[in-house]
Structure 1
Amino acid sequence: MMDQELLTLQVARIDRPVMDSAHIIFEIKGQPVPDYQAGQFLTLLFPELGPGPVRRSYSLASAPGVDAQLSICVKRTVNGQASAYLTKRLQVGDVLQALPPAGQFVLPEGPKPLLLIAGGSGFVPMFSLLKAALNSAAPTSIQLLLANRNARSVLFREELKQLESAHPDRLRVLHLLSQPTEDCEAALAATAHTDIKQGRLSNAWLEFWAAQALGPALADAHAYICGPPGLMLKAAMTLRFLGFGAGRLHQEDFIIHSPFRPKADQLPLATVELRYKGQTLSFPVKPGQTLLEGALLAGIELPYSCRSGSCTTCSAQLTAGRVEMYTHNSRVDSEATNGHIFTCVAYPVTPQVQLTVR
């Protein structure tokens, strides 16, 4: 078996930004802080939390160049074993293991106008992106729409106000509150560029607001969306209508969808040649198995997390052969992606396959 490069994280501090939440700041034991990008996530390993090993991914709240330590922020979810443990039982001094930071929900290259739309705990990766963008020397302008129930449910409320006050010429914030309290203005307003609106997100209103907020910059802006499924669906539909193509529209989805599995009798028995960590290995993949499943059964611990093709932790490069990838709503041939694949949803369609995992 090949051991993955794991991070050993010791809990240095736990803050409680809102009810049933935990902002967990880590010290890394015996290793340097890994290189990472704002907006990425950590996959934590829980070997004894359930009947079998459990892996869960959590967005980083920290930003490189801004925060000295890695941190995540977790809100407890209904029937969530890992979130219940992290928000209720975890203590300072406890040690966790994690895969290195991963994910593609990152800032574009070069200075671009940014439109950030978040709801609830979806603000966590946005907070990381926001800090990194404002820390950059590039004159990036940022429009942030943050949807919550009321002021008390806004994650990193005071930190956001500090960022607004420090960058009034670059950051404009709109708080969209479904059930605002009387003190919301005092609790949230930081500058003259802070707006507070009562209501819920609608397609028509978002179209008007985005066009007004960005103005001529709309054609060049990059949009980022993270939050509850309804908010993400409305926001994505509206932004696509406004002309945001796949290269400028970025989404981070916390929902794990069950991928479709093709019929085994339609697939061949395959032999895989794998290049991983300087070694060349070979393992079989039976009809109906994914590349990841074949590797794990052969005792090869490849990186993975969601097993649904969403998180990108299991990225690999196909160098020979073909695979087809099945998510919950699509089928993609490796030829269409120039060989860039996700092993957790990739099924060999040729008897011989070669791939490289970094």
Structure 2
Amino acid sequence: MSTAETPAAPVRKRPVEYEVTVTEVRMETHDTGTLFLDFGSAPVEYKAGQFINIDPHQFPALRALAAFLQEQKGRRELFRSYSMSSAPHEPLVAITVKDEEFLPGLTKYPPLLAPYLLHGRLPGARIKVQGFMGPYTLPDDVQERTDHLVHIVAGSGGVPNFSILKDALHRGLKLRHTVLCSNKTWADMLFREELEKLEAANPGTVKVLHTLTRETEESRFGPNVRKGRIGQALLEELIPDRQTCLVYACGPAISPWDRRKALETRTPATPRFMEAVLGHLHTLGVDDKRIKRETYG
């Protein structure tokens, strides 16, 4: 009598530490910039949609602030994670970072790393990063699962999806892409020109739309710009194949801190982008198994 063997669990690769050179910091909008990283001769293997970690403790300029925050929080400051906006075929690894502000009464702690990465005059500097991590990637059998990939993103949530889109097009995957980006204003739109070029170069394959929540005359920006938040009616219009599409959604969600505060005050936490989008998709009949999500708080 033979005994069936249980398949071994997949082995997760441990993050590898690299020392890289920052070749350029390019501002994309008034508060978001891209760092281009040269890994030199080190072999670089990652999947579109993944992220790297950066330890703030490596920077002498941040030691005092890190010590202050650790005293306030009662714990060691953690690594910060940044999604890559580059695709694996591109010569340099790029991460796109949104600046952070300290808003008295609204922000609990001053930001630590993001402002330094954008404004610390890092081009030419050697820094340490850990990579590559994250499950927000396309499955190997994506073409067997669907022919329509729907990207629903808000603000800097567009970073990993930009990587995924470029990678899928480069590899010639037989997928249609609907890219729906939500931002506050025209000036906040991340990768706008690059997305326009990809749409123009791939007619019938890439469709890009934007929604703006704080513009009063969105019509002056063209037919692909709508007013307001991403709502159910717009998703119904853009996703006719709700039983077969795959959705990749990335954007802000209720943070653990917001949830703790809601429990303490016995008031429900206010839904954010991700909670609203998931609610609309579920109402339209998109199965949760067909939705991949990545959030930040």
Q: TM-score, normalised by structure 2?
A: 0.75
Q: Which is richer in strand?
A: 1
Q: Which residue of 1 aligns with 2:224?
A: 195
Q: Which residue of 1 aligns with 2:88?
A: 64
Q: Which residue of 2 aligns with 1:39?
A: 49
**Residue 178 (structure 2) pairs with residue 149 (structure 1):** no
Q: 1:228 to 1:254 in 2, by over 3 A?
A: closer
**Residue 21 (structure 2) pairs with residue 10 (structure 1):** yes
- The 8 Å contact of residues 51 and 134 in structure 2, kept in 1 or not, is answered as yes
Whole-angstrom distance in 2 between the partners of 1:250 and 1:71: 22
**Residue 127 (structure 2) pairs with residue 96 (structure 1):** yes
SS in 2 for 1:158: helix
Q: 1:137 to 1:28 in 2, by over 3 A?
A: same
Query: For structure 1, which runs of at least 5 residues remain unmatched after alignment?
Result: 256-358
Deviations 1:241-280 (A, max 9, x none): 333334311111122xxxxxxxxxxxxxxxxxxxxxxxxx
Deviations 1:167-217 (A, max 9, x none): 12111111101122768745xx5xxxx62111123xxx32x32232222x2
Whole-angstrom distance in 2 between the partners of 1:53 and 1:219: 43
Match for residue 212 of structure 2 among 177, 183, 186? 177
Q: TM-score, normalised by structure 1?
A: 0.63
CA RMSD in angstroms comes to 2.1
Q: Which is richer in helix?
A: 2
For residue 168 of structure 1, what is the amino acid of its counterpart? P
**Residue 174 (structure 2) pairs with residue 139 (structure 1):** yes
Q: 1:41 to 1:185 in 2, by over 3 A?
A: farther
- How do residues 169-248 of structure 1 correspond to structure 2 at under 5 angstroms? 169-180=204-215, 185-186=220-221, 195-201=224-230, 205-206=231-232, 208-215=233-240, 217-229=241-253, 230-248=272-290
Query: For structure 2, which runs of at least 5 residues remain unmatched after alignment?
Result: 1-13, 68-75, 102-109, 254-271
Matched residue pairs, number?
240
Query: Percent identity at matched positions?
Result: 29
Bigger Rg over Cα = 1
Q: Which residue of 2 aligns with 1:254?
A: 296
- The 8 Å contact of residues 7 and 28 in structure 1, kept in 2 or not, is answered as yes
- How do residues 246-285 of structure 1 correspond to structure 2 at under 5 angstroms? 246-255=288-297
Deviations 1:1-51 (A, max 9, x none): xx9730112101111000122200100144122x11111111112224312
Shift of 1:100: 1.5
Shift of 1:134: 2.0
Q: Which residue of 2 aligns with 1:325?
A: none
Shift of 1:110: 2.7
Whole-angstrom distance in 1 between the partners of 2:213 and 2:77: 38
